[in-house]
Homo-oligomer: A and B are copies of this chain.
Amino acid sequence: MRRMIRIISVLALGLLTLVAGQAQQTQVEVEQILMDTPSPERARQWLFSLTEEPHVAGTPAQYKVVEFVRDRFKEFGLETEMVKYDVFLNYPKSVSLRMIQPREETLSLVEEVYSKDKDSTPEGQFPAFHGYGASGRAVGQIVYVNYGAPSDFDRLKDLGISVQGRVVLVRYGGAFRGLKVKEAQDRGAAGVLIYSDPEDDGYMRGDIYPDGPWRAASAIQRGSVQFLSTQPGDPSTPGYPSTAAARRLSRNQMETLPKIPSLPIAYAEAEKLLRSLGGPRVPDAWQGGLAFAYHVGPGPAAVELDVQMDEAIRPIYNVIATIPGSVEPDRWVILGNHTDAWTPGAIDPNSGTAVLIETARSLSAALKAGWRPRRTILLCGWDAEEYGLVGSTEWAEDRAAELQAKAVAYVNLDAAVSGNEFGSSGVPSLRDLMRQVAAKVPEPRRSGAIAVSWERRLKEAWASSAPVTVDGAEQTFELQLGRLGSGSDYTAFLDNLGIPSLDFGFGGANGPYHSVYDNFFWMSRFGDPEFLFHQAAARLYGLLAWRLSSDKITPLRFSNYGGALMEDINAIRTDVIRRARMAEGQAFKPDFSSIVAAIREFDTAGHEVDRVADRLASSDNNATIARFNDALMQVERAFLNNEGLPRRPWFRHQLIAPGLTTGYAPWPFPGLREAVEKRDRAMFDAEAKKVVAAIKAGTEKLRAAK
């Protein structure tokens, strides 16, 4: 019944496209299709199929998953291609870990099987290893170094303990795991073990698998140890695409990969080592959730770890469906989610892939009802994300010029559902769009729209943490998107190419992260048993694709961008003031005035251009609109600098990057932040010039739009 009304309406539209009232009617209809089509049951079916086997990049199992996605897109009537790259990948040939002091014991590198959960078997599954980890053998005493951050290693040094020639035991959390290995390697360690502490995602957070969603004692967090914040993508072709004919670096030449061996381990195994450490008691913040007082070591616990990798150039496949634009076909709106997984990967990434497929089905339904997007939509399944954003990076490098000319926005998914809490990160110019779309979709478990509970949660965090001044005017809360760091496929689009990017998802008790328990049993029991959040994510994704592709005026809005930049720069200024408090005479006091002035100008221009956008909304002059849209698209590009960031030229965006020492977490104004960390005034001044130039270039683009 509902379907029939749609067809009638679309027929009417065919006759009356120039009548504004009717165009409005169509918009309501398209929105309704994109709201009505996504189905929990379909998402459940897609997820069930996608998670049938572990599907690591480059394996036959992953090829089957890519084909499955391609076949769905085709089945929905979308023009779809597979894009192959040949990239460097490693698999474990043999891995072993033995405690040799104070007693001999072989430590487990596989997970416990739970009879309720058929997918918890290690069968068809690699044992514990690190993507891009080095081959090697290390024998040495254990030293515990908390999260393995540079500040943790500094603290260890203050305690008079060296990691030289020893095996560093660190816990997951904080920085991207590859940067833990990098820091240990730079400080002379012989090897690294990274374990999951129960404080961080085990029983201290809630009931553990299979009784609850949190990490079981035997669960192992696999993952890549690439030095992600220096450069992602295939390490054999840094900065250029991994086509068949590409020139390759040898393993030894790959500077973004570790030289020392590392392994991920479960807390059941780590406990045996930690309980056997002497030396000083750890600094308070290093204590984790195991039921004894942690010590730093070194020793007496000692281990032998032996890792031999099977390294080769292997084929990977991105799958890309295209929905051509009717008015601006050379303007692209890109949606993407990766397809490869370390394990069955029900959360990561297949909740996202299931949502991507369901979104494709939903857009296809709108197409069948007569809708044609103004701009071209690309739906992308990226391969080998888990190794280092490889599929998306190689494609972005391959198509760089075209993307810079054509891409309006990139919207990423990855692990779309691990719980019920909506969150979104992105460039500030996409904040209004995300909020509008989230206001359309009902929250599955609460009354009201997703936007309502999202805003309430962020406002509560703000209310309890934002400083209060008794004499000044009370600050008001402004909803902002999180800033994008790295760890997913938006990285090349935003940081290398300056394409406005957005990421969202429903987070929660992601205890099984990168373990075999990230599987269909977990999702259907704990994560999203009714698949209502998958449905909600597909609604959001479809509405975002629709608005970005079909709004006459591209929905990039700039009134909020200056304010967001001011928040970011003030966070750095606050940090500088705080550090100066204990520095007495030697305080580092850089000059922020030129940056603040540049942001103010950008802010003014942003407000003006949004007023122009409001005016143009009623225009029918396609040439004027296209010029305006192009200018909006170019603002983010203006923030790039071809020199890139200090010692990481691939990262060209001057206003945002993954933290050099965090990987995952963003550093707004990355050059300034690095200079502040190093207390380097000359570097600060040089980076400030680049930042001011970038902001001014953005301001020029805004002014050009008017």
Contact = CB atoms under 8 A, between A and B. Distances in A.
Interface of A: 198, 203-208, 212, 214, 281, 284, 287, 289-293, 459-460, 462-464, 467-470, 472, 474, 477, 570, 573-574, 577-578, 580-582
A428 to B, nearest CB: 19
B474 A577 contact: yes
A570 B293 contact: no
A577 B467 contact: no
B293 A205 contact: yes
A589 to B, nearest CB: 11
Given A212-B293, A291-B290, A470-B573, A581 B203 contact: no
A463 B578 contact: yes
A578 B203 contact: no
Contacts of A287: 204-205
Contacts of A289: 289, 291
A454 B121 CA distance: 57
B291 A198 contact: yes
Contacts of A205: 284, 287, 293
Contact of A581 (B292, B463, B470, B580): B463
A208 B293 contact: yes
Contact of A293 (B206, B291, B474): B206
Contacts of A203: 291-293
A469 B469 CA distance: 9
A464 B214 CA distance: 32
22 contacts: A203-B293, A204-B287, A205-B284, A205-B287, A205-B293, A206-B293, A207-B281, A207-B293, A214-B293, A289-B289, A289-B291, A290-B291, A459-B581, A459-B582, A460-B582, A468-B574, A468-B577, A469-B472, A470-B570, A470-B577, A474-B580, A477-B581
Q: How many copies does the complex hold?
A: 2
A459 to B, nearest CB: 7
Given A203-B293, A469-B472, 18 more contacts: A203-B291, A205-B293, A207-B293, A208-B293, A212-B281, A289-B291, A290-B291, A459-B582, A460-B582, A463-B578, A467-B467, A467-B468, A468-B577, A468-B578, A470-B574, A474-B577, A474-B580, A474-B581
Nearest to A596: B470
Nearest to A211: B293
Nearest to A462: B581
A205 B282 CA distance: 10
Contacts of A292: 203
Nearest to A281: B206
Nearest to A295: B207
Nearest to A577: B468
Contacts of A472: 469, 472
A470 B284 CA distance: 31
Contacts of A459: 581-582
Contacts of A214: 293
A550 B581 CA distance: 38
Contacts of A284: 205
A685 to B, nearest CB: 19
A287 B208 CA distance: 14
A203 to B, nearest CB: 5
A208 B294 CA distance: 11
A578 B464 contact: yes
Nearest to A465: B578
Contacts of A580: 474
A439 B6 CA distance: 84
A575 to B, nearest CB: 8
A82 to B, nearest CB: 44
A469 B290 CA distance: 39
A251 B206 CA distance: 44
Contacts of A198: 291
Contacts of A212: 281, 293
A207 B570 CA distance: 42
A564 to B, nearest CB: 15
A87 to B, nearest CB: 41
Nearest to A460: B582
A214 B581 CA distance: 33
Query: Which of A214, A292, A462, A574 neighbours the largest number of chain B CB atoms within 10 Å of its CB?
Result: A292
A570 B214 CA distance: 42
Contacts of A577: 468, 470, 474
Nearest to A580: B474
B291 A582 contact: no
Nearest to A284: B205
A688 to B, nearest CB: 16
A35 to B, nearest CB: 29
A477 B577 CA distance: 13
A444 B290 CA distance: 34
Top 8 A-B pairs, shortest CB-CB distance: A467-B467, A463-B581, A291-B291, A470-B573, A468-B574, A207-B293, A203-B293, A468-B577
A207 B281 CA distance: 8
A281 B464 CA distance: 24
A459 B292 CA distance: 32
Contacts of A582: 459-460, 463
Nearest to A456: B582
A680 to B, nearest CB: 21
A293 B472 CA distance: 43
A611 to B, nearest CB: 28
Interface centre among A205, A290, A469 (most CB of B within 10 A): A469
Contacts of A208: 293
Contacts of A581: 459, 462-463, 474, 477
Task: Determine which residue in A208, A477, A578 has the highest number of CB atoms from chain B within 10 A of its CB, and name it.
Answer: A578
A464 B467 CA distance: 13
Contacts of A206: 281, 293
Nearest to A574: B468
A86 to B, nearest CB: 46
Contacts of A474: 577, 580-581
A137 B231 CA distance: 68
A690 to B, nearest CB: 22
Contacts of A578: 463-464, 468
Nearest to A291: B291
Contacts of A460: 582
A569 to B, nearest CB: 9
Contacts of A468: 467, 574, 577-578
A578 B463 CA distance: 6
Contacts of A204: 287, 293
